Structure formats: C-alpha cells, structure tokens
Amino acid sequence: MPQSCKMLFNSLHHSPSQRPPIFAATPESLRTDARALVERTQKVWNEIVNTVKPESATFTNIIEPIIRDENAKSTSMRLLRFYASTSPSKALRDASNAVVTLFTDSEVELFARADMYALVDVVMAQHLTDNGLSIEARNYLEKLHRRFWQNGCGITDTAVKSNFERSQKRLKDLERECNKNLHDEKTGLWLTREELKGVPSSFMSRLKEGEGEHEGHFWVATKVPQSSPVMKHATMEATRKKMFYAIQNRMPENVPLFRELVLLRDETARILGYPNHAALRTSNKMVRNPETVISLLFEIKSRLVPRGAEYARELLELKRKETAARGEASDQIFLWDQSYYSHMQAEKEKAHGAELSEYFELHTTLAKLLQMFEHMFATRFELITPEQQRDIGDNRPLIWHEDVLMFAVFDSDTEYFMGYAYFDFYPREGKYTHVGHYSLQANFLQPDGTRFHASSVLVMNYNKTADRPTLLSLEEVRKLFHEIGHLIHALCTETTYSASQYVDRDFIEAPSLMFEQFFWQARHIKDVSFHYSHISPRYKEIWEASLPEEQRQFANKMPPEAQLQDGVVAALAKSSSGWNIVREQLKDVFFSIFDMTIHTPTSHEVLGAMNLAEVFNKLKSEIYSLPGGEATGDGWEWGHGEAVFRNVINNYDAGYYGYVL
C-alpha cells in the first residue's frame, strides 16, 4: 500500500460489527468447502421433499428452509468463485474454476428436480390470489417458481428432459471456458520504435523490450491498458490497423465456443416453449419481452446513427488535414482511426499545457470520489491498513493481493457498520481483464434478527508504474465513478433474503448511469481534479522531470494550477452531451442490437446459417459509419470481435440494452 494512502483516506477508528472474509484458501480447501456447501443444500432439499407432502406444503415449510440455506451459503459461495478472477496463483484460479463447475452442475440438477418443483408449484398456486406474503417474499417465490420452469421442470418427456439437462450443463461449461480464455489471454504484438512513433515515452518506458529475434521491438499486449494508448497515439495508420486487427482477432479458440453457446441457448429456449433465447431472458426482466427492447433500440438507432455519421465526417476532415500536412492524401477513415482522431479532436481538453490526466492521480481521485459518495449517502469509508488487517485477521490474510485497498464502511450519522469495500486496481497475469463490480457477500437478515453485511469489490486494470503516479483519463474517472455506484448500491441495500440483493438485470446499470449524470456537473469535475505535482514533493519532482528541458527552469515560477480552472471544467461538462457521449452511445447501441440480433432469430435454422462475425462487423460499420477491413479487401470476416464480447458471454445475454435504458 502506498504511504500516501494513509494520508488520503480516513483511517479505521470504528470497530466493524462483523469480521471480514479471510483469503487463506488452498486449492484443496476450495474444493472441500465447495463440496460441503453442495452437500448441505442437497441435504436441506432432501429433507423438505421427504417430510412434506404436497397437500401440506406452505411458504413456511417449503420456501423458508430454501431461503435459510441460500442465506447461509451466500456468505462463502461467491468467495470461493472469486479466486478464479483475481488470485495471483494459477493453482487457486484453476481450483476456483473447478468449484464454479461444481456449483453450476449442482444448480442445474437441483432446479431440474420434479419433486421439489411439485411442492413449490403448490405454494405458488396458494399465493396467486392470497396477498399474505410481503412484497419481497412474493417476488422471491415468483422467481423461484420461474427458475424451476426454465430449468426444464415442465418437460414431461423423460428423454427430452435428460437431453435438456445435459445442454444446460454444457451451456455453463461454454461460458466458463470462454471466460477462462478471456482471463488467461496473453496475445500481443512486437512493434518497432518507428511503428510506435507518437506514443508517449512515459508509456514506452513501461513496455517489455525484445531480445534476440525481437531485439529493437517492444511487446504491446492486446489488453486495454496497453493497446489503448497505441490506438490513441500511434501516428502511423499501419500500426493502428495492425493493433486493431490483433485486438479483433485475439483468442480464436473462443470463436467455435461462442457459436456453440449462441446456438445452444436458442435450442434450449425453444425446448421450453419460448420463440427464442431473448424471450426467455426478458421474461425475467423489467421489460418482459424482446419486442419492446428491439423497438426501443431501433428508435434510438434512427436518431443516433445520423449524429454518428456527422461525427465520422468530422474525424475524416481531421485526417485529411493531418495527412496533408505530411504531404499525403487520405479520403477515407476507418474503424482503426477512430481512437486516434477522437483523441486529436479532444486536444482542447488540455489545461495550461498539462495533460488533463495529470489532474487525476489514481489514489487522490479515488479519495475525492469517495468523499462525494460519503456526502450524498452519509457514509464513511475507513481505510484498513496492513497493520490493522493483521490485527483484525489474527495474522490471516484479509486481501488476495498486496495492491488491494480494503475499507470498512459506516453510516456517518449513526456509526452503523454497513460492510466492506475493496479496490483491486492493477492488471496481473490471470486476472479479470476488464473493469467490474463483484459482490462477495450479500446483505441479509440472520435467524437471530441481526444483519449480515455486504462485502463488495471493484476490479479495475490501470497501468501501474514503479517510478510515476498512475494517472487517469477523464473517461477512466467516469468509469471509476460508475463502478463505485455499483459498490454503493450493494452496500446500501438491506433485504431480508440474500437473493433479493440482485435486482433485475436490466435495472442493474440504472443507479450507476444516474450517478454519471451527477459526475458530469462542472463543479463536481473541479472538486475531483487535483494536479499530481501538488500531492507531494516527490510527485512535484517527477512532474518537473517530465517537462521538456527548456521548460524546467520555469517550473517553480509557473506551476500548474492545483485544480482545473472553471472554463476548462465547464467545457468538459459540456462535452458530456457532445461527441464523447455520442461515442459511448454508439458503442452501447451497437452491442445491444447485436446482442438482440443473435438471440432473436426467426428460427433455429436461420441462426445456424448466420455468419456471426459478418453480422458483428457489418453492424459495427453501419452504426459507427466507419468501414473496417472489408474496405481494404479483407471481406466481412476480417475480425471476430463477437467471440470476445464478454458481457453477452456472461449474464448480459439478451440484456446489454440495460446500458441504454
């Protein structure tokens, strides 16, 4: 933990009423603990069906035992799965992946049990007209009943049901394999210094230099922390195209897996009587049917695409001017040019000659963002230092990696303990490569009337440097604020049942998207900004050393402002309704329409004949108004970006539209 963190954050001086999770698992303990959870649930269910007859089934003797078991299981089940995404140990990641398989196979078997379904069905029938249940209890019962149905309990043909259960397990295997490939992905390119012309030297200094046959080259991974700076800064179009192709064609092993996943989803939905997979998935969401989603998406598309085309024309004009200045001519702009010319257009986002990111050092920015949430929600985040962790954990580890920041969260008015929050900021081998919120433990009411409190994690991937602070772009600050919104949502939620913490999938992004609107106020951007040269004398020295030699002598006389000036933040706030937001909306509409397209085929045969890569690339070109490899002679299968669309591989299938609502 950087020493500066102890100065930036509130230190722990309240006593949490609940002990935090321990991260001392071994591969064997993961497997043993997982088997124990599975066996306990099987025992609870067996006891229910063996002791209760359908005619005497009630919410109390059928549903409540299931809920109590789920509540108890929720304190450790997600922890056992979490190692797969974040553990530095490959052995632990592999064991955790095996645990995920065990859990998913067990759930498929549990929710295919006709004996338990018969009892739940009786209870459901009792409450079709009886309003004696609380809203939370009725909502739980409806979802539980629907889950049995969607796991094949309504299938009467034994052979069909057996095949359906095998397909369900295979679906989980496919999701798991795709995710494992995403976590383990190590692809990249060896590029020369000439090819990397324009890329900041501060970034170049962090790249691995080649030896032997790769001498004179630098290794650039396709993962976002390394590929994004190249796409944004490399002046050679050939480099940008090369990098873009590498990104779009990474993990070819996912291509057949993704295709099988989409086809099998459609097949199983039709067995259940749904016209397609999206109809099945939306039946569990707020919108209830895919037609509503598709109508909304195409209405938004009709209004957004013309703005995207206008934006593409502006970028093309920039490209024409830039290439003409080099004595070249260019009349076409491509998908691989977007980041570069968007960045060029955003050069106005500079203040006093300093890059905007210099005002958003990672830990200082986090402290200021947390202060904003503390003010809004009357909460207090208290940092638990390594020394305090050792005391609280009796020398057992309370974090899974030394870089992780751990906080206890309290109600600032009452000092009521709310839960634990963790921040895992830097990439490492085998770690989840995107950004996201993980709920480790859910909030629920325990049998003795006390409350079990939530534990939540933000997993990010920012470039870590040994000798410089980690600086964030404004877009990265926005994303961090968005993800903290998920964390706050989890910590502030108080329910009777642990399962109730997980809202409908198409609502889950709503709180964070609303928080973003708050962030884009000029005064809030200013409040968060703080130039890193003002943080400490060491950071000031680093900043001065980064200046061109002819400017260093003036550094003390003309230091950067501590915060962004009013005119700058006003322009940044205005940009949130300009091209920045158009770019973000184009992305969300593109992914949402592709998601619904592959999950709403008119027939299974139509889906089987669908070229998923072609559909993905054609739609992307249409919505962005930018051509890709098809315009340079590579056809429509120039990339397979669909196979690394992690949201649709996971729980956002037929649900990505939640980002658009």
Please tell me the distance from the alpha carbon of residue 148 to that of residue 643, in angstroms, as a whole number.
Answer: 30
The catalytically annotated residue of 185, 382, 483, 509 is: 483
Backbone angles phi, psi at 189, to 5 degrees: -135, 145
- Cα first-last separation, the chain: 38
Please tell me the distance from the alpha carbon of residue 619 to that of residue 613, in angstroms, as a whole number.
Answer: 10
Please tell me the distance from the alpha carbon of residue 140 to that of residue 393, in angstroms, as a whole number.
Answer: 35
Q: In this structure, what token pair is assigned to residue 147?
A: 């889950």
Q: Are 359 and 468 in contact (CB under 8 A)?
A: no
Residue 483 known to be catalytic: yes
Strands 454-459 and 417-424: parallel
In the block, tokens 């071994």 appear at: 26
**Positive or negative CA dihedral for 491, 435, 652, 110?**
negative
DSSP for 533-586, written as a single string = GGT-HHHHHHHHHHS-HHHHTTTTTSPPPSS--HHHHHHHHHHTTTHHHHHHHH
Q: List CB contacts of 551: < 8 A, sequence separation 6 or more.
A: none
Please tell me the distance from the alpha carbon of residue 100 to that of residue 80, in angstroms, as a whole number.
Answer: 8
Of 386, 457, 393, residue with least CA distance to 424: 457
Q: List CB contacts of 310: < 8 A, sequence separation 6 or more.
A: none
Q: What's the CA dihedral at 442, 446, 451, 453 to 10 degrees?
A: -20
Q: List CB contacts of 168: < 8 A, sequence separation 6 or more.
A: 108, 112, 151, 152, 268
Q: What is the DSSP letter of 76?
A: T
Q: List CB contacts of 25: < 8 A, sequence separation 6 or more.
A: 33, 80, 83, 92
One-letter amino acid at 115 equals D
Q: If you count them, how many residues does the chain have?
A: 661
One-letter amino acid at 486 equals H
Q: What residues act catalytically?
A: 483
